């Protein structure tokens, strides 16, 4: 009953030193690779998301039209489909899953693209949130390969404030002793619910709640929204998987790419792709300001904030107006 | 070793119906009440704060100069000095402490001011955060009595987003089973630390962390700041007291004042005081926009945002520039 495929990575030596043995990259493709192999797009997944969560941006008549492009959606390591705490056998599963960086993810994706599909150029790399962080990393790691990029609602380096926000959700989850430092056999549901409730304040904007947009989504009250949407989403997730992805997120930094010596600016300057960088105008943890600085250091980039009160969720595909705005920008960039 | 006094309120029937028996209001005064009783100021406390936490705004040469004004600082119910879960004997202590509203607090403070000091007019009511919420309530409940008001970093009604933020910190605290639904004899330190870590992202702005201001405060790293300042502050607090104050905060709404039938607008329109309303420009949970609306419905109010990257902490007294900005506004208002 899988609707995705697996690329066997073998034993992968990770950026921080551990070896991820028999590593697997789960992915799905949409559309057909043309004979010239000139229509490939890479579209990595977000925090807690899977390839299916990317599909709202793919479809007939949209920029990512499968009749025109070959869209590869690689699942992020840690997301439960690619190698993750929840599916890695001992001794490396659960709390012992090694630290995986955004750089590690993009190296694995590059192997998929080149080894399995023999693709040399990507028309576009795009992604939302942590998918945007992977997009930036693609632009830095493979500048000659990435022709265009459109990272939305994500930054090239996780800011300190964003790091602190993540400390909060982590602390809420792990305050539940049932988590057993990652060795639990039963989900720590109280911690997962707390995680969800903390997250609910961050993912949307003050104005989203002020205008009661949550009530227009089929929820009968604020509490109904917090339980049905937020807790419902996170009680179904694996706690170790979430924490593995959060570690990846907290340490996202294109400056840490080998050869850039920790310099964000040097890494940004190495990006050759034509880029449209799209923060959500009211995003609380990937604010416009971080992208503004990054764009100022990129050779060929435009900043185009998404005018939305949906906060970080402006890039989640839930608000039709935001979807249209992002899709229009993709069409423009792909036409360029 | 107390440095404050107690006003015995007796049995208080609260707005939501419970009776708080043998209720006590802890307070401290600064300066001397003049013969005409025309120099009194009320300056209620903030969430988690005590009268000592207000003292940075009182002093020689400042607007609230004790040689000129008689400043009464009443401690909020639930703060550990006034009647609170932590100091109320059975059957009403701990998890059974009754629900106290901002309205209840201000009624108690009004009794202190009128019964103990026989004061009929207040030159000024001012306060930070939940102290600002009490300030708004003073203006609504006693419009003829409050000549001027300067609420800073707080709103007349807690917004939905603010409510959600508080759901997050509550969930983090109560995810620790050691809390025992409020009946713990030993502090739930894991939960209190989680509470602190969630709070750390909300109380300051993205720019505060981006510019590394936390490192200029005597902390050697982000983690040092999170432990020394944030966890250090909250592990010393009583969990039930925090939750009692959060309930008060979540339900703050001047529209719920009797006679206004739930209408925020009607309540705002009833305020007669000359008001300067001062949100922090980068406050994440009491954003400028909420005050902007409130000021538009107040007969005699000016909106004056504090130009600061200190987020909600712009009103905390920790940043000298913000202190000066607030103090200047107080001087201007008191001179009017």
Q: pLDDT value at position B114?
A: 98
- Give the percent of chain A with pLDDT over 70: 99
CB-nearest to A209 from B159, B178, B194 is B159
For residue A156 the two structure tokens come to 């090239």
Contact B190 A175 (CB under 8 A): yes
Largest Cα–Cα separation, chain B: 55
Contact A167 B200 (CB under 8 A): yes
User: What percent of chain B clears pLDDT 70, i.e. is strictly above it?
Assistant: 99
Q: Out of A82, A84, A86, A129, which one is annotated catalytic? A: A129
Q: Which two tokens stand for residue A205?
A: 């904007």
Euclidean distance between CA atoms B164 and A226, whole angstroms: 9
The alpha carbon of residue A177 is apart from the nearest alpha carbon of chain B, in Å, by 7
Any bridge partners for residue A126, and if so which?
Answer: A150
Active site residue A4: no
Residues in A touching B190 (Cβ below 8 Å): 175, 177
Helix and strand numbers, DSSP H then E, in chain A: 11, 8
What gap in Å lies between CA A127 and CA A45, rounded to an integer? 7
Do B167 and A194 count as a contact with CB atoms less than 8 A apart? Answer: no
Whole-angstrom Cα distance, residue A275 to residue A265? 16
Q: What angle do CA B230, B231, B237 make, to 5 degrees?
A: 100
Q: In the predicted model, is pLDDT for residue A123 greater than 60? A: yes
Between chain A and chain B, the number of residue pairs with CB atoms below 8 A apart is 136
d(CA A43, CA A334): 14
Output the CA torsion B130→B133→B134→B137 (10° steps).
-160
In terms of CA atoms, which chain B residue is nearest residue A226? Answer: B164
Q: What is the DSSP letter of A144?
A: T
Residue A155: predicted pLDDT: 98
C-alpha B29/C-alpha A99 separation (Å) is: 55
pLDDT over 60 at A113, yes or no? yes
Question: In angstroms, how far is CA A73 from the centroid of its own chain?
Answer: 11
Mean pLDDT of chain A: 97
Distance CA A139, CA A250 (A): 20
Q: How many angstroms separate the CA atoms of A252 and A245, rounded? A: 10
**Which alpha helices (DSSP H) does chain A contain, by range?**
102-111, 130-141, 160-174, 189-203, 206-210, 222-225, 232-235, 239-250, 264-269, 288-296, 320-335
For A161, the closest of B163, B198, B206 (CB atoms) is: B206
Using alpha carbons, select from A179, A299, A169 the residue that is nearest to residue A239. A179
Residue B152 scores a pLDDT above 90? yes
d(CA B140, CA A170): 41
3-state secondary structure chain B: CCCCEEEEEEEEECCCCCEEEEEEEEEEEECCCCCCCCCEEECCCCCCCCHHHHHHHECCCCCECCCCCEEEEECCCCCCCCCCCCCCCCCCCHHHCCCCCHHHHHHHHHHHHHHHCCCCCECEEEEECHHHHHHHHHHHHCCCCECEEEEECCCCECCHHHHHHHHHHHHHHHCCHHHHHHCCCCCCHHHHHHHHHHHHHHHCCHHHHHCCHHHHHCCCCHHHHHHHHHHHHHHCCCHHHHHHHHHHHHCCEHHHCCCCCCCHHHHHHCCCCEEEEECECCCCCCCHHHHHHHHHCCCCEEECCECCCCHHHHHCCCCHHHHHHHHHHHHHHHHC
Report the 10 Å Cβ neighbour count for B12.
22
Inform me whether the pLDDT recorded for B2 exceeds 80: no
CA separation for the pair B52, A136 (Å, rounded): 49
Mean pLDDT in residue range B211-238: 97
Chain centroid offset of residue A64 CA: 17
Min CA distance, A142 vs chain B (Å)? 28
Cβ contact, residue pair B210, A284, below 8 Å: no
DSSP A21: E
Confidence class for position A311, pLDDT limits 50, 70, 90: very high
Q: B66-92, pLDDT tens digit by residue?
A: 999 999 999 999 999 999 999 999 999
Neighbouring CB atoms inside 10 A of B127's CB total: 31
Per-residue model confidence as pLDDT tens digits over A160-218: 999 999 999 999 999 999 999 999 999 999 999 999 999 999 999 999 999 999 999 99
Partner residue opposite B287 with nearest CB, options A173, A178, A206: A206
d(C-alpha B126, C-alpha B148), whole Å: 8
A21-55 pLDDT, tens digit each: 999 999 999 999 999 999 999 999 999 999 999 99
Task: Please check whether residue A149 is in contact with residue A329, taking contact to mean a CB–CB distance below 8 angstroms.
Answer: no
Cβ–Cβ of B165/A201 closer than 8 Å?
A: yes
Catalytic annotation, residues of B = 129, 283, 312
Does pLDDT of B129 surpass 90? yes
* Chain B residues with beta carbon closer than 8 angstroms to that of A287: 206
Band (pLDDT 50/70/90 cuts) for residue A336 is confident
**Beta strands at A301-303 and A274-277: parallel, antiparallel or unpaired:** parallel
* Percent of chain B surpassing pLDDT 90: 99
More confident residue, B259 or B245: B245
DSSP A296: H
Q: Is residue B336 over pLDDT 80?
A: no
Q: Give yes or no for a contact between B229 and B217, defined as CB atoms under 8 angstroms apart.
A: yes
pLDDT for the residue numbered A130: 98
Give the residues across from A13 on adjacent strands: A19
Quick: pLDDT tens for B303-335: 999 999 999 999 999 999 999 999 999 999 999
Residue of chain A with shortest Cα separation from B190: A175
Residues in A whose CB is inside 8 Å of some CB of B read: 159-165, 167-178, 190-191, 193-194, 197-202, 204-210, 212, 222, 226, 284-285, 287, 289-290
Q: In this structure, what DSSP letter does residue A117 have? A: T
Residue A67 has pLDDT above 70, yes or no: yes
Cβ burial of B187 (10 Å; 0-12, 13-18, 19+) is middle
Q: Enumerate chain B positions whose Cβ falls within 8 A of a Cβ in A.
A: 159-165, 167-178, 190-191, 193-194, 197-202, 204-210, 212, 222, 226, 284-285, 287, 289-290
Beta bridge partners of A25: A7
pLDDT at B121 over 70: yes
Give the pLDDT of residue B162: 98
DSSP symbols for A255-286: GGSTTSTT-HHHHHHT--SEEEEB-BTT-SSS
Q: How confident is the model at residue B1 (pLDDT cuts 50, 70, 90)?
A: low
Instruction: Let me know: does B122 contact B20? Beta carbons within 8 Å.
Output: no
Q: Starting at the earlier edge strand, list the strands of the sheet with B148-152.
A: B5-13, B19-30, B70-74, B40-42, B124-128, B148-152, B274-277, B301-303
Which residue in A172, A177, A209 is closest to B172 by CB distance? A172
What's chain B's average pLDDT?
97
Q: Is the pLDDT of residue A1 over 70?
A: no
Closest residue, chain B, to A286 (C-alpha) = B206
pLDDT 10s digits, B17-59: 999 999 999 999 999 999 999 999 999 999 999 999 999 999 9
């Amino acid at each position: 009953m899988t609707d995705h495929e697996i690329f066997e990575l073998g034993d992968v030596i990770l950026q921080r030193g551990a070896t991820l043995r028999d590593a697997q990259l789960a992915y799905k493709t949409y559309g057909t690779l043309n004979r010239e192999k000139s229509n490939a797009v890479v579209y990595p997944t977000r925090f807690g998301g899977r390839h299916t969560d990317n599909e709202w941006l793919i479809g007939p008549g949209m920029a990512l039209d499968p009749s025109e492009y070959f869209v590869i959606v690689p699942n992020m390591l840690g997301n439960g489909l690619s190698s993750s705490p929840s599916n890695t056998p001992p001794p490396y599963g659960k709390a012992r899953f090694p630290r995986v960086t955004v750089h590690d993810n993009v190296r694995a994706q590059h192997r998929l693209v080149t080894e399995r599909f023999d693709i040399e150029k990507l028309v576009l790399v795009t992604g939302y949130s942590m998918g945007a962080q992977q997009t930036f990393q693609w632009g830095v790691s493979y500048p000659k390969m990435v022709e265009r990029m459109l990272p939305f609602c994500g930054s090239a380096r996780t800011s300190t404030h964003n790091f602190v926000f993540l400390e909060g959700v982590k602390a809420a989850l792990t305050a539940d002793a049932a988590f057993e430092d990652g060795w639990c056999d039963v989900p720590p549901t109280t911690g997962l619910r707390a995680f969800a409730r903390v997250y609910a304040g961050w993912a949307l904007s003050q104005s989203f709640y002020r205008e009661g947009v949550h009530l227009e989504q089929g929820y009968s009250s604020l509490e109904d929204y917090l339980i049905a949407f937020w807790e419902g989403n996170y009680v179904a997730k694996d706690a170790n998987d979430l924490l593995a992805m959060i570690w990846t997120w907290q340490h996202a930094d294109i400056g840490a790419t080998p050869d850039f010596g920790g310099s964000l600016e040097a890494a940004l300057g190495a990006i050759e792709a034509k880029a449209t960088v799209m923060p959500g105008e009211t995003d609380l943890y990937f604010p416009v300001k971080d992208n503004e600085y990054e764009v100022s250091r990129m050779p060929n980039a435009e900043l185009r904030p998404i005018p939305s009160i949906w906060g970080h969720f402006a890039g989640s595909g839930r608000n039709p107006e935001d979807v249209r705005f992002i899709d229009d920008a993709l069409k423009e960039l792909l036409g360029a």
